[in-house]
Amino acid sequence: MLDSFLTRAALAGVGVAVAAAPLGCFVVWRRMAYFGDATAHAAILGVALALSFQVPIFLGALIVALAMASLVTSLSGRNVAVDTLLGVMSHSALAVGIVAVSFLENVRIDLMAFLFGDILAVNRMDLLVIWGGAAVVVGLLSWRWSALLTATLNEDLARASGIDPQREKLILTVTLALVVAVSIKVVGVLLIAAMLIVPPAAARVFARSPEQMAVLAGLIGAASALGGLAASWQFDTPTGPTIVSVAAAAFVVCTVIGLVRQVTARG
């Protein structure tokens, strides 16, 4: 079954959706969209370093994404405007990564594939990495779900309950870096943040509990991946951007339905 590249692509897209959905909910709740962008953009520097030292690209992207996320977390709140800090570090890391890639000799690399993804080139080892990463992400967030929710809602309440908000933030940081590393080949560094934010934002319209929102976000993300793959195959469009476009369309539809429901309820 895995001999078909379309089957591998579909499994990869669903795997990324499974990994991104629960974490994306916390990104939306904590308003960490730009934080996710900065971490994703830094991954391109990890790609350059991985190719330079001839180590797996997943490992290079994971290490640099984790370093970026940890650095931003440690610097935030120290008399530095967080949005300014994220903007500087995000675009600087992306620019330095692209420049670093250009200096690599005797290495043929499709830069567009890392920027926008190349889901159709996913192989069996990539699938193992994606689904292994998704299992770790889901397991980690399930283990800390209650504590993460409490720390997200109110840090003072979390401390009163014996929960360390900084520790929970660190868990989110590690998880975000892992999601970035496993997603880079599917949607690319420029679109990872979209897959983290758009499905949860769409699910938020219908969810009545945090758990329900995470599940709905996963379903919307998986449907977007499969729908985007099918549309890309049908209309010969770039697959990564098409997946995100389908997710954006789902968000628009969900938002319109939510507005109609509000108007109907008031009437």
The answer to whether position 242 is within a domain reads: no
Residue 1 has pLDDT above 60, yes or no: no
The answer to whether position 215 is within a domain reads: no
Mean pLDDT of 51-67: 87
The tokens for 123 are 């192989």
Instruction: Find the domain containing 23 and state its range.
Output: 5-187
For residues 243 and 229, the answer to whether their CB atoms sit within 8 Å is yes
The answer to whether position 34 is within a domain reads: yes
The whole-angstrom separation of Cα 187 and Cα 247 is: 12
- Residue with tokens 């010969």, as numbered in its chain: 236
pLDDT in tens, 81-132: 667 777 788 888 888 888 888 887 776 677 788 888 889 889 999 999 999 9
The answer to whether position 267 is within a domain reads: no
Instruction: Report the CATH number at residue 133.
Output: 1.10.3470.10
Which of 61, 38, 80, 208 lies closest to 129, judged by CA? 61
The whole-angstrom separation of Cα 104 and Cα 175 is: 30
Mean pLDDT of 13-37: 89
| Rg (the chain; Cα; Å) | 19
pLDDT the model gives residue 78: 59
pLDDT in tens, 221-261: 999 999 999 999 999 999 999 999 999 999 999 999 999 98
For residues 37 and 193, the answer to whether their CB atoms sit within 8 Å is yes
pLDDT in tens, 162-201: 999 888 888 888 898 899 988 988 888 888 989 999 999 9
The answer to whether position 221 is within a domain reads: no
The answer to whether position 245 is within a domain reads: no
The answer to whether position 57 is within a domain reads: yes
pLDDT band at residue 79, thresholds of 50, 70 and 90? Answer: low
- This prediction has a pTM of 0.89
The answer to whether position 252 is within a domain reads: no
- Report the number of distinct structural domains present in the chain: 1
